[in-house]
Structure 1
């Protein structure tokens, strides 16, 4: 495919930004859409007063040559640094973090994509996909925006959580799990678009995560190196952002585990905050909370992972990618975005 190829990428998380950068570098006309106010997805960082806290992905490791090349570039430019080599013992795999927070890596990718000619549109909700009208359309598809406007395109890469992708393709507003809803969504996509998505993709379930972000007035009781995985019955991860090297003042991220998050998902915010603060108390030592925020991730972690790095229609014009492919981690999301771009460039 030549330089006139037009591609729309839905989702400006890591997968979408990697795909957009790769395509733009190859001369493709790329537009990235994201409903959020800024890029990053799970590469999310929040400022509270003078503190900086990662509240999505906390760190990443490197196992593949493709991701190693990306990380080496980030290291050379001072964008990432090693936090530790294991939370309980040295396992030989460095845990990397963004030196200015994980979201800074998404911003770097977005800047690179834009320099190569990509257009990135945040606060823009992709509402649906439909075939281009007419007997001989110039482009294969139209992506419908929630304001009713459309973007003509030759191919589309979806990198948002799978349930959101299916709802968009099926034009059903919100996709709900369950056999009947799954079959209905599948049939709607086949009827409307001629796309026969694998049923296994439809049935992918995600764990939820509720996060407590807290700034504190002094050192905490979190042990070296400042991170704890599965530390108790409530928290799947606890991260001291100052020990991590991204915050100038003490600030802690608490991720509730999947079971706790599911059980408390429908609680009101004040009740949830009170419960999380009580659970966090043993990890804070003598430190007192100054400021707190609650964050929720509806589609935090896919429970099953598709073995291939992406899924592509037979004609190669619709690609589904993201962290449900090739591993639900930062590296998997990166490599899935790379594979999605290469599937269109082949």
Structure 2
């Protein structure tokens, strides 16, 4: 019997978790990733000796499988605890918080154990999925993939998942119910230390929602102080199509104003737009799968806007697809 083959679209934590579980069950897995780096919104942008976590800032672990994975990644040295000082709306954060974990030397490192040994095609975007007589065909930026697949797993933001899977049945039309929110992220470095009273500043109103000193995270390179600033959802929507350099300048100005701190001239300043940053309204299911056509979708947008939710969604989809194609699921982590 030929080895079961599965195409996974997206190399964020949902896609890589799904791919890893499928590979553990002896499926032949190919992961297609449009960008040049792993992790999706667990992204790390590097500029010289600087490292910016411009997407997800940290992870928490509650479920037993994800707790176990964080422990494994910790033993591998790619995940470390982070205990920053926190101010929210100029007041000390006095609520109990869960243990925060960060990737080292950047958040994208958190997915490295998942990707190890997988066939990941970087810089290859998937534009269309086609059902043929011999299975699923994958249309990429550079043409059709050279082989067909018995099943497909789509692990990209909800609007992109809908574009790929919407034409293939009613099951996936529910993706249209998901509402995603944008976020502009500014990345800035200062040659001189900047003290704004805490390593993390949070705001419940205004242009900024978050500011974090990436240099304070463990395992980061020594050098100029690096900060990541996240704009609020309303501000990001209002400036969604604005020029990225103008956005960076506006958010830097707002950082100084909101913290009441005179800021020195930055040595580096840039911005990145996350058009689909997280789910404001999630699907309410762990994943979507159509067993008749051996296709499914996963992501944090299925459950909740947390990294752990993406992990859970990818894992659930993998086990659903394994059942669909007649493979036994690997032993669950206990």
TM range (shorter): 0.7 to 0.9
Deviation at 1:57, TM superposition (A): 0.5
| TM-aligned CA distance change 1:82 to 1:89, over 3 Å | farther
Partner of 1:35: 34
Q: Per the alignment, do residues 326 and 169 of structure 1 end up closer, same or farther by CA in structure 2, a change over 3 Å counting?
A: closer
Measured against aligned partners, the alpha-carbon deviations of 1:267-312 in whole angstroms (never above 9, x if no partner) come to: 2234322211211224454543111111110000111122221111
Distance apart, 1:144 and its partner CA? 1.8
Cα offsets for 1:234-260 (capped at 9, x unmatched): 111111011123242310000001100
Counterpart position of 1:76? 75
Aligned to 2:226: 251
Matched, 1:321 2:316: no
- d(CA) in 2 for partners of 1:317, 1:199: 16
User: Which of the numbers 123, 132, 146 marks the counterpart of 2:141?
Assistant: 146
1:259-338 mapped onto 2 (5 Å cutoff) = 259-282=234-257, 283=259, 285-315=262-292, 317-338=294-315
Give the superposed CA RMSD.
Answer: 2.0
Q: Look up the SS of the partner of 2:184 in the other structure.
A: strand
**Are 2:137 and 1:163 equivalent residues in the alignment?**
no
Q: Aligned match of 2:210 in 237, 240, 245?
A: 237
Task: Tell me how far 1:345 sits from its aligned partner.
Answer: 2.2
Structure 1 pair 92/205, CA: closer, same or farther in 2 (3 Å)?
closer
Contact 1:85 1:92 in 2 (8 A): no
Provide the C-alpha distance between the structure 2 equivalents of 1:169 and 1:215, rounded to a whole number of angstroms: 41
Q: Distance in 2 between matches of 1:236 and 1:92?
A: 18
2:24 match: 25
- CA distance in 1: counterparts of 2:129 and 2:156, whole angstroms: 14
Distance in 2, matches of 1:285 and 1:78, equals: 37
- The structure 2 residue matched to 1:110, chosen from 104, 109, 115, is 115
Q: Tell me, in whole angstroms, the C-alpha distance in 2 between the residues paired with 1:274 and 1:92.
A: 32
Unaligned runs of 5+ in 1: 171-188
Indicate conservation of the 8 Å contact 1:52/1:248, yes or no: no
Deviation at 1:227, TM superposition (A): 1.1
Cα distance in 2 between the residues matched to 1:77 and 1:270? 37
Task: Kindly state the Cα deviation for residue 110 of structure 1 after the two structures are TM-superposed.
Answer: 1.4
CA distance in 1, matches of 2:265, 2:61: 36
Q: For residues 161 and 91 of structure 1, do their structure 2 counterparts lie closer, same or farther at Cα, with a shift above 3 Å needed?
A: same
Q: Distance in 1 between matches of 2:62 and 2:165?
A: 33
Query: Normalising by structure 2, what TM-score?
Result: 0.87
Give 3-state SS (helix, strand or coil) of 1:228's partner. strand
**Within 1, Cα distance between the matches of 2:303 and 2:2?**
28
Q: 1:77 to 1:285 in 2, by over 3 A?
A: farther
Partner of 2:59: 60
- Give secondary structure in 1 for the equivalent of 2:216: helix
Partner of 2:105: 100
Deviation at 1:99, TM superposition (A): 2.1
Q: Cα 1:326–1:338, aligned 2, differ >3 Å: closer, same or farther?
A: same
* CA distance, structure 1, for counterparts of residue 94 and residue 221 of structure 2: 24
For the residue of structure 1 that corresponds to 2:20, the secondary structure is helix
Q: Which structure 2 segments of 5+ residues have no match?
A: 87-92, 324-334
Change over 3 Å in CA distance of 1:55–1:92 after alignment to 2: closer
